[in-house]
Structure 1
Amino acid sequence: MDNELLPLLQLCDSNFPSGAFSHSFGLETYIQEQVIVDKESLKTAISAFVDNQLVFSDGLACRLSCEILESSRGMNELLEIDRLLYVSSLAMETREGNRRIGERMAKLCMELYSSTTLGEYLHFIKNKQGYGHSALVFAFVAHHLQMDKEKVLSAYLFSSVSSLIQNAVRGVPLGQTDGQKLLVEMQAKIHEAKNRIMKLTKEDLGAVSPGLEIAQMRHERLSVRLFMS
């Protein structure tokens, strides 16, 4: 195995304690309303999440951050991506969930893959001058370890999809076998999403689905919840 992939595998591991296991990012709304009831309906929902939220928000931000770091354009542009991610997330729980996951990942990765740029980003987060997002943390780690940005992007998308599927396995609930089958079926969608992201520009950042945003907002009012968002 290519040694450069090992850090990516660690960040993608469902046991990596980023806090992502506590968030459904609106999917729990669909589960309670019985829009998601089985593997096929979950596949439809996650495909929509990938095509919109991941392509035009998190995934694109990860790619743009990698390119900013590669060109040494400075922290100000990275903080602008960080700010755009935060303010374009209309649902409070999703906005705060991404912030908490990002800050937690930044702290962990400073212990595991310490770098000057990641340390600077964490400093801005701690001093309320940045928000924190896992997409940027992935980019900082990748740049520090000199990884190919397309591999990083594929890993980030896979990690996000894997986390959502594992959370849905608990929430629907589904069997672990169905969850793993769905993860295999989503690999082509992840590859397609990566290729789409590589063609987008900064002006496309934040063009997400109103339906997903509304589900994320409505999650705040669910009477019983397994997840924080």
Structure 2
Amino acid sequence: MSDVQQLLTSLQFTDSAFPSGFYTMSHGLEAFSQARLVSRDGVQPLLADLLLHSVGPGDATALAAAHRAAVNDDVELVQEVDQRLFASKLNTELRTVSVRSGHQLIDLGAELIDHPLLAEYAERVRLRRTPGCQPVVTAVVYAANGVATREAVASDLFAFCASFVGAALRLRLTDHRHAQGILRETAGVIEQATEAALERDLADLGGCAPMADVMSAQHERAEARLFAS
């Protein structure tokens, strides 16, 4: 696959219009907003903290490890990464939304892309032999399209950021112009989280963001919710 085709693949699967289910998630932002713990000026710092201490050590690290395994046609290791990531998510809500999004992605990815390892992994997800967490599914889809590991990790982190900022818009914590400024300001953090994920061993998978976990637990029991997470 050419460099242009790889780029187009990254753009397609990170586009907000791609039916991955990301639009149903606030990635914890709704809970912070309900608790009045975040304001307009606090959206970017909160996003940066989540990237560096939660999403980067967790999802991005799993994506990098699963991508390397998929490139080497090691579906058993892909499954191990998937199971480890699922176990590292402390809250039911976080596990549920990751698997729900992952299943949507693997269903469509297996339909669009003819690749043996992708087909095998999709079958294991269908049979519930492995959870099918979104970052791991993303890794397999990108590997099947020849997208390099670094680009795969960075693309998925950007998709997370775009979804997070989209949630901020719907929660009226920002406007469209300010949202673009947040994404621009966060580019360096995405790069930092990407490089750290690439260097991290699978044994070190898992973030530490206690307040985010508390907010997720509260969100599970909220009387009114706009987002699934």
Per the TM superposition, whether the score is higher than 0.5 is: yes
Aligned to 1:98: 98
Identical pairs, percent: 25
Q: Output the CA distance in 1 between the equivalents of 2:157 and 2:216.
A: 20
1:118 has 2:82 as partner:
no
- Partners in 1 of 2:122 and 2:36 — Cα distance? 40
| 1:60 matches 2:61 | yes
Separation in 2, partners of 1:37, 1:102: 30
In 2: Cα distance, 1:224 partner to 1:152 partner: 35
Contact persistence 2:32–2:215 (CA under 8 A):
yes
Rounded to whole Å, the distance in 1 between the matches of 2:85 and 2:183 is 26
Q: Tell me the SS of whatever aligns to 2:4.
A: coil
Once superposed, what is the RMSD of the aligned Cα atoms?
A: 1.4
- State yes or no: 1:174 paired with 2:171: no
Alpha-carbon distance in 1 for matches of 2:100, 2:184: 28
Shift of 1:96: 0.2
Please name the residue that 2:145 is paired with: 145
For structure 2, the residue ranges without an aligned partner over 5 or more in a row are none
Runs of 4+ in 1 over 6 A off after TM superposition: none
> Quick one: which amino acid aligns to residue 78 of structure 1?
V
Distance in 2, Cα, partners of 1:141 & 1:21: 20
In 1, the alpha carbon distance for the partners of 2:4 and 2:132 equals 29
3-state SS in 2 of match to 1:85: helix
From 25, 28, 53, give the equivalent of 1:26: 28
Match among 8, 15, 19 for residue 6 of structure 1: 8
Structure 1 residue ranges without an equivalent (≥5) = none
* Contact 1:36 1:172 (8 Å CA) reproduced: no
The number of aligned residues is 227
Please give the TM-score of this superposition, normalised by the length of structure 2.
Answer: 0.94
